[in-house]
Amino acid sequence: MLQQHTLDQLRGLRLDGMIAALNDTAMQASAEGLPFEQRLALLVQRELDWRDGKRVARLLKAAKLKVSGACVEDIDWRSGRGLDRHLVTALAEGDWIRHGRNVLITGATGCGKTWLGCALAQQAARQGFTVLYTRSTRLLQELQVARGDGSFGRRLAQLARLDLLVLDDLAIAPIAAQERQDLLELLDDRVGSRSTLITSQMPSSAWHQWLGEPTIADAIMDRLMHASHSIALKGESLRRGSSHA
């Protein structure tokens, strides 16, 4: 059995994955008889796996997903939902985030927009991307408060650093003039370099009219539609049946 002093030294170096591996009797049994180099490689791999797991856990906690259990492996592919398996599978690979593209998910209440958005966001976090979920109305209210207390610029900078921002339920309520401007500034910081995933009951073709002021609406739509992927979900509400999309 490894001396306590050595374990304490590993703990001091924050090599918790190695400690777990050394305390794993199953691993000890499987590694018995292996050359030193192979046993060391196993310990190093366990440490890397441990750190990856901890990082993903931190990313998922920071993401604040509304549906934390949503994942792409559980997507309901039933016909008539408007889901393009090829597109969603490609999105799950994460290249759209690496290239700063957007995803726009629209459909009626209960058709699984939020669930699907959270599933793609969870997949992004599992791949190491920074993610934040928020309801659109809540974020716009938060930015309005930030303008009042002088933290607006700092909050915009924080949001601009996120690899993926999920804005749920866009256009669910009328938008005020200041909110329109804040939305433009938010998206302007992200266009072409960071990804935004939007869900909405309203089809994207109606967003311009919802935004109201034509000049700002043009600018917002240009940033939203830039290199975007669209998913228009169809079918009956899933809330009466299964709990996932």
CA distance 21 to 8: 15
Do 228 and 191 form a contact (C-beta atoms < 8 A)? no
Residue 84 lies in a domain: yes
38 plus 133 within the same structural domain: no
- pLDDT reported for residue 240: 54
Do 210 and 171 touch, CB atoms closer than 8 A? yes
Alpha-carbon distance 22 to 234, whole Å? 52
Backbone angles phi, psi at 15, to 5 degrees: -100, 60
Q: What's the number of domains the chain is made of?
A: 2
pLDDT along the chain (245 residues), means of 10: 70 75 69 75 73 84 96 89 93 96 95 96 96 97 96 96 98 96 96 96 96 96 93 78 54
Residue pointed to by tokens 């398996």: 85
Q: Computed over its alpha carbons, how large is the radius of gyration of the chain?
A: 22
List of residues 6+ apart from 82 with CB closer than 8 A:
107, 231, 232, 233, 234, 235
- Domain of 20, in residue numbers: 4-62
Strand-pairing partners, residue 232, are 106
Q: Cα separation of 237 and 121, whole Å? A: 22
pTM of the model: 0.81
Co-location of 131 and 228 in the same domain:
yes
Q: Is 245 among the domain residues?
A: no
| Domain co-membership, 78 together with 30 | no
Burial (CB count <10 Å: 0-12, 13-18, 19+), residue 16? middle
Q: What is the pLDDT of residue 239?
A: 61
- Judgement on whether residues 36 and 54 belong to the same structural domain of the protein: yes
Residue 226 phi/psi, 5-degree rounding, is: -60, 115
**Within this chain, do residues 121 and 37 fall inside the same structural domain, yes or no?**
no
Within this chain, do residues 82 and 162 fall inside the same structural domain, yes or no?
yes
